[in-house]
Amino acid sequence: MILAAIPSPTTSVWHVLGLPIRAYALCIVLGIVAAVLIMEYRLRARGVAHWASLDMAVWAVPFGIIGARIYHLITSPQEYFGSGGHPIDALYIWKGGLGIWGAVAGGAFGAWIAARQLGLPLSVFADSLAPGLPVAQAIGRFGNWFNNELYGKATTLPWGLRVHDMDTTNPGHALTIDGEPVTKAGLYHPTFLYEAVWDIGVAVLVWLLDRKYKFGRGRAFALYVMAYTVGRFWIEMLRIDDANHILGIRLNVFTAIIVFLLALAYFVIVRGPRAYVVPDDAPVTAPEGEEAAVADGSRRAPKSYQVVSEARFEAYRTTGILPPDTPEDRALEIAAGGHPADPDPAGPAGNTEAVLATGAAATNGPDGATGGDAEVDKRPADEN
């Protein structure tokens, strides 16, 4: 006798003014919003201008979705291109079928484009996103719950999942007989819930360890990848949805192992302190008169950034003036992935060609400015 069970929704799509509103899409959107907000908080604590996260999302989200779908099509082609498959269904992403590894690869490419445009090291974006991405994944997994998909093996556990037979002639709704939704026999492991809970744990782990150790050079993101793949390994072993197998083992199990090892190697080999950034044209002396008024009133994002040590960053955030580099500062900035320019004997930085954090050069305007200072966040640097 079944004494307890987790129910599943009987509807995953609603129509408003004739337009379909799909639960899967809503969960994806809510996850993206959560990830962007978390990344925004962490970017500001590193010195990046307000809402640069949106500039990144504009590029990373579309490429991430495309990459996720391509990965799914490559690893599960038979549903669309095999016997009885419908190739046009490859475009119907709202029905499910987004692979996380394709999303990470595609999103990374989009983020790289955004980083180049903003003059930021990609690692600043990656480490800022590290705890936000698993939160997005946790929220997105509830889309699978609405779709009654990606559940695990049969179970007698009290938290077993009741799964509906979905109506193929009425997509987004459970099959009904005499007005009652039809359910599959027995209960199943709620793997969507296992992964959602695991992902939240990963987010907390990355946030706490990064706050304590101040990882740099993309190591916080590598930590996320390692923690996530450990969970994906055992959860994947429970799933029974259609998947390609190698030696009787699901393909994504091998993928999780390989990605974990790559992330572990990166985490161990790559070292460096956390990167902090300031506008490339940050003032090195106190502005006076009209220049001070212009500087105080500027809220435009800078055209590029420079990586600075934590000590210089804190001084700039407190005073609005960037202190000169010391040999110790330069060593830390190089270790963090920056490319500090050699001291200019001709005068203060900003009057000649500037060296960006990416190593490229930016041409100053006639007044020596490169777009104005970013609005400075006043929170302590370790509150991220």
Within this chain, do residues 173 and 61 fall inside the same structural domain, yes or no? Answer: yes
Paired tokens of 283:
């003032």
In a domain, 84, yes or no: yes
Phi, psi for residue 166 in degrees, rounded to 5 = -90, 145
Would you put residue 185 in left (φ > 0), alpha (ψ -120 to 50) or beta?
beta
Element (H, E) at 13: strand 13-16
Average pLDDT over every residue of 35-42: 98
In a domain, 220, yes or no: no
Within this chain, do residues 32 and 154 fall inside the same structural domain, yes or no? Answer: yes
DSSP string, 239-273: B-S---EETTEEHHHHHHHHHHHHHHHHHHH---B
Least confidently predicted of 133-137, 155-159, 225-229, 349-353: 349-353
Using 50, 70 and 90 to split pLDDT, how confident is the model at 363?
very low
Average pLDDT, the chain: 87
Q: Given this model, what pLDDT does residue 3 score?
A: 57
Within this chain, do residues 20 and 150 fall inside the same structural domain, yes or no? Answer: yes
Kindly give the residue spans of alpha helices, DSSP state H, lying in 147-218. Answer: 191-213
Burial class (CB in 10 A: 0-12, 13-18, 19+), 339: middle
Q: Which of 160, 187, 208 is the last residue of a domain?
A: 208
Number of neighbouring beta carbons within 10 Å of residue 248: 5
In a domain, 240, yes or no: no
In a domain, 384, yes or no: no
Distance CA 372, CA 296 (A): 10
Residues 6+ apart with CB under 8 A from 158: 3, 4, 5
Average pLDDT over every residue of 245-264: 95
Within this chain, do residues 187 and 41 fall inside the same structural domain, yes or no? Answer: yes
| Number of separate domains in the chain | 2
Report yes or no: 341 and 355 within 8 Å, Cβ to Cβ.
yes
Within this chain, do residues 286 and 203 fall inside the same structural domain, yes or no? Answer: no
In a domain, 249, yes or no: no
Burial class (CB in 10 A: 0-12, 13-18, 19+), 359: exposed
Number of neighbouring beta carbons within 10 Å of residue 185: 6
In a domain, 369, yes or no: no
Q: Given this model, what pLDDT does residue 75 score?
A: 85
Residue written as tokens 């003059």? 119
Residue 360 has pLDDT above 50, yes or no: no
Within this chain, do residues 322 and 196 fall inside the same structural domain, yes or no? Answer: no
Q: Which amino acid is at 383?
A: E
Within this chain, do residues 20 and 158 fall inside the same structural domain, yes or no? Answer: yes
Which 3-state string (H, E, C) describes 39-69?
HHHHHHHCCCCCCHHHHHHHHHHHHHHHHHH
Within this chain, do residues 30 and 173 fall inside the same structural domain, yes or no? Answer: yes
In a domain, 372, yes or no: no
Q: Given this model, what pLDDT does residue 83 score?
A: 80
Residue 367 has pLDDT above 70, yes or no: no
Binding site feature residues: 141
Give the DSSP letter of residue 152. Answer: B
Give the length of the chain.
384
In a domain, 47, yes or no: yes
Residues 6+ apart with CB under 8 A from 105: 67, 71
pTM: 0.84
Residue 297 has pLDDT above 70, yes or no: no
Within this chain, do residues 97 and 180 fall inside the same structural domain, yes or no? Answer: yes
Within this chain, do residues 204 and 341 fall inside the same structural domain, yes or no? Answer: no
Residue 162 has pLDDT above 90, yes or no: yes
What residue numbers bound the domain in which 139 lies?
A: 13-208
Residue 374 has pLDDT above 60, yes or no: no
Q: Given this model, what pLDDT does residue 366 score?
A: 40
Average pLDDT over every residue of 78-92: 84
Task: Quick: pLDDT tens for 256-279.
Answer: 999 999 999 999 999 999 999 999
Within this chain, do residues 332 and 183 fall inside the same structural domain, yes or no? Answer: no
Within this chain, do residues 204 and 296 fall inside the same structural domain, yes or no? Answer: no
Average pLDDT over every residue of 74-89: 84
